[in-house]
Structure 1
Amino acid sequence: MRLRDLGERALLGKLAPIGYPLGAPLPPGDDAGGVWVEGVAWLLKTDGFLYREVALLGMRPFAVGFRGVAATASDLIAKMGKPLGFTLGLFLPEDLEEAFALELVEGAAEAARRLGACLLGGDTNRGQEVALTVSGFAYAEAPLPRRALPGDRVYLAGDRWGRTGAAIAAHYRGRDLEGFPLIQEAAFYPLPRLELLGLKGLLRGSLDSSDGLAETLWQLADLGVRVDLEALPLYPDVLAFAGGEEEAYELVLYGGEEFEAVLVVPQEREEEVLLRAQGVGLPLFFAGHIGEGKGVYFGARPVPRRGYTHF
């Protein structure tokens, strides 16, 4: 079967268990992998992308390098891992200007620095076009898998929901983001939230959201539960960009590239989670709850499963 017929999710389901160790801190196919070392989980994550597929209008190489490290770090932090270091695999055309390559790596180094981590070198290769592979490692005393039980609450961490979707939509429509500074900042410099680590021990589960909120919620539903949304964040600038609630909801559900986290909170820990989040300065938005059944619903309407996929 060809990959376009199989689909990315089905392919990952077949690939993830190959060679994966028994008793690992996280199950195969989660946002990151890892091993136990003296009672502490050491987590590893690798992301790769073509420069032209992520460079939005107005994005400099610095921002693309920054985004590469941010994407990898987001997966690690969602698993309660504290990032320690990153490496870059670069594919560069031989006629590329030196300044371009330096700026790209400087952006990656800045993202690592702002996360309290380091850039630890990597590898360079000749390529037909610019591409990056970013690997990051972290340690986690209590790694947090994708997990949910009926009765749990669903919260959205962060404030980039819909904003990155708006920036991506602007790119493909050739629309200027002048007048929308928060939307541009969200897409160009989406720094993952180390504040999530302040919720250690209080959450049932956590998922990174990069393929779109709807797809992330469907990954929760794949655990054998039903996700019932009661509300979604609609920020004034997203509403203004969209021109109406319906399109704004589309940007929130299907925008992607948020590098935020979807949190599953046990009902009995909800108040404590809210207090802790307030204390560490982490924005949280109550989105809904977990029930018995299957699928994702917003009110009484099913949420179609759409999101970014490579195949």
Structure 2
Amino acid sequence: MRLKDLGERGLLARLAPLGYPEDAPLPPGDDAGGVWVGEEAWLLKTDGFLYREVALDGMGPFAVGWRGVAATASDLLAKMARPLGFTLGLFLPPDLEEAFALELVQGAAEAARRLGAPLLGGDTNAASEVALTVSGFARTRTPLPRRALPGDLLYLAGDRWGRVGAAIRAHYQGRSLEAFPAIRQAAFYPLPRLELLALAGSLRGSLDSSDGLAETLWQLSELGVRVDLEALPLLPDVLAFAGSEAAALELVLYGGEEFEAVLVVPPEGEAQLLAQAKAVGLPLFRAGRVGEGRGVYLRGEPVPRRGYERFR
């Protein structure tokens, strides 16, 4: 079967178990993988992309390098693991200007610094176009898998929901973001949230949202549950950019690249979760709950499964 027929999700389902240890702290195919070292889980995540696929209009190499570290760190933090360091794999055309490569790495180094972890070198390769891989490692005593039970509550962490989708829409429509500085900031310099680590004891599960909220919730539903959304965060600038509530909801559900977390909370842990989030200044939005069945619904209406998927 060709990859364009199989799709990224189908390919990952076949690849993820290969060589994966049976006693790993997270199941194969989760946001990160790892091994136990004593009583701690040491997690590793690698992410990669072509420069031209992520560089929005006005985004230079510094922001793209930053974004690479953000993508990797987001997966680790969603598993309640504190990043310890990052490495880069650079693929660069021989005629590329040195200043471009320096800015790319400087952006990655600054994002890593903001996350309290160093940039530890990596590898350089000649290529026909610019591409980047980022690996990050982290550790935690409480690795948090993708997990949900009927009756659990769903919370969305952070404030980039819909904003990154708006920036991506602006890129393809040739629209200026001059009047929307928070939207531009969310897309150009997203920083995964170390504050998530304060919530570990109140959660049943957690997922990184990079593939788009709808796709992330469908992945949660694949665990054998139904996801019922009661509401979604509609930020004023996203509403203003979109022009209508329906268009804003589309950006929230299908934007992607937010590098935020979807949190699964047992009902008895809700009060503690809210207190912990308030103490560390982490924005939370209660979006809905988990039930018996399968599928994703918003106010009773099915949410189509769409999101970023390579090879298709």
TM-score (norm 1): 1.00
1:275 is matched with 275
2:55 is matched with 55
Shift of 1:205: 0.1
Alignment of 1:19-38 (within 5 A): 19-38=19-38
SS of corresponding position for 1:19: coil
Name the CA distance, whole Å, in 1 between partners of 2:60 and 2:13.
Answer: 35
Shift of 1:145: 0.1
Shift of 1:124: 0.1
* Percent identity between the two aligned chains: 79
1:290 is matched with 290
Q: Which amino acid aligns with 2:166?
A: A
SS of corresponding position for 1:132: strand
Name the CA distance, whole Å, in 2 between partners of 1:124 and 1:8.
Answer: 26
Shift of 1:17: 0.1
The C-alpha deviation readout for 1:200-239, integer Å capped at 9, x for no partner, is: 2110000000010000000110000000000000001000
SS of corresponding position for 1:125: strand
Shift of 1:300: 1.3
Shift of 1:2: 0.3
Name the CA distance, whole Å, in 2 between partners of 1:142 and 1:178.
Answer: 42
Name the CA distance, whole Å, in 2 between partners of 1:13 and 1:200.
Answer: 27
2:145 is matched with 145
2:233 is matched with 233
Name the CA distance, whole Å, in 2 between partners of 1:178 and 1:280.
Answer: 31
2:207 is matched with 207
SS of corresponding position for 1:4: helix
SS of corresponding position for 1:18: coil
2:173 is matched with 173
The C-alpha deviation readout for 1:95-119, integer Å capped at 9, x for no partner, is: 0000000000000000000000000
The C-alpha deviation readout for 1:246-291, integer Å capped at 9, x for no partner, is: 1100000000000000000000010110011000111000000000
SS of corresponding position for 2:201: coil
1:98 is matched with 98
> Which 5+ residue runs of structure 2 have no aligned equivalent?
none
1:122 is matched with 122
SS of corresponding position for 2:128: coil
> Which 5+ residue runs of structure 1 have no aligned equivalent?
none
2:88 is matched with 88
Q: Which amino acid aligns with 1:159?
A: D
Name the CA distance, whole Å, in 2 between partners of 1:122 and 1:78.
Answer: 24
Shift of 1:187: 0.1
SS of corresponding position for 2:202: coil
SS of corresponding position for 1:219: helix
1:310 is matched with 310
SS of corresponding position for 2:121: strand
Root mean square deviation, CA, Å: 0.4
SS of corresponding position for 1:7: helix
- Count of aligned residue pairs for this structure pair: 311
Shift of 1:38: 1.0
Q: Which amino acid aligns with 2:204?
A: R
Name the CA distance, whole Å, in 2 between partners of 1:280 and 1:219.
Answer: 28
1:196 is matched with 196
The C-alpha deviation readout for 1:149-196, integer Å capped at 9, x for no partner, is: 000000000000000000000001111101100000000001000000
Shift of 1:7: 0.9
SS of corresponding position for 1:36: strand
Name the CA distance, whole Å, in 1 between partners of 2:150 and 2:138.
Answer: 31
Structure 1 residue runs of 4+, over 4 Å off?
A: none
SS of corresponding position for 2:123: strand
Q: Which amino acid aligns with 1:227?
A: V
2:258 is matched with 258
